[in-house]
């Protein structure tokens, strides 16, 4: 039986996905963590094969619980998320997203995530390098 997701969270998720779509149309960046686009949500922007790649970075514990679908997850510093539509579009453009480093959300179909115990730009860059091996490649 599917877990009920609060309407407020669903609305926030849709707003974040709209921000991700908008950000993918902006100028390319090798690596950028934006200011909050919504409370406790930033975007992590990079590129691979001259294609924009944008993840959402969630830091509010209740949002993390909703995305994970389980309140038993340990306290984390953040959650990096991407939806299956962006993954499919990236793959059509030849950009590989290594899903072996991602967990599929149990409560929000089509969303994949990675949890962070500690958040820093260095940590984010390392994980992005694993998730998107061609990150920063402009050939």
CA dist., res. 92 & res. 59, Å (int): 30
Confidence of residue 1 (pLDDT cuts 50, 70, 90): very low
Confidence of residue 3 (pLDDT cuts 50, 70, 90): low
- CB within 8 Å of 72: residues ≥ 6 apart: none
CA dist., res. 87 & res. 110, Å (int): 10
What pLDDT, in 10s, does the model give residues 72-117? Answer: 666 688 999 999 999 999 999 999 999 999 999 988 889 999 998 8
What pLDDT, in 10s, does the model give residues 33-83? Answer: 999 999 999 999 999 988 999 999 999 988 998 888 765 666 688 999 999
Question: What pTM was estimated for this model as a whole?
Answer: 0.88
- Could you tell me how many residues make up the chain? 139
């Amino acid at each position: 039986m599917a877990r009920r997701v609060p309407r407020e969270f669903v609305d926030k998720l849709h707003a974040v996905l709209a921000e991700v779509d908008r950000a993918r149309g902006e100028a390319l960046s090798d690596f950028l963590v934006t200011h909050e686009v919504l409370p406790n949500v930033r975007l992590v922007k990079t590129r691979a094969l001259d294609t924009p790649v944008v993840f959402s970075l969630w830091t509010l514990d209740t949002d993390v619980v909703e995305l994970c679908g389980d309140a038993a997850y340990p306290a984390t510093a953040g959650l990096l998320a991407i939806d299956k539509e962006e993954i499919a579009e990236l793959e059509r453009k030849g950009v590989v997203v290594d899903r072996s480093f991602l967990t599929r959300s149990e409560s929000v179909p089509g969303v994949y995530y990675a949890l962070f115990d500690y958040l820093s730009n260095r940590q984010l860059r390392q994980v992005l390098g694993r998730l998107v091996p061609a990150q920063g490649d402009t050939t």
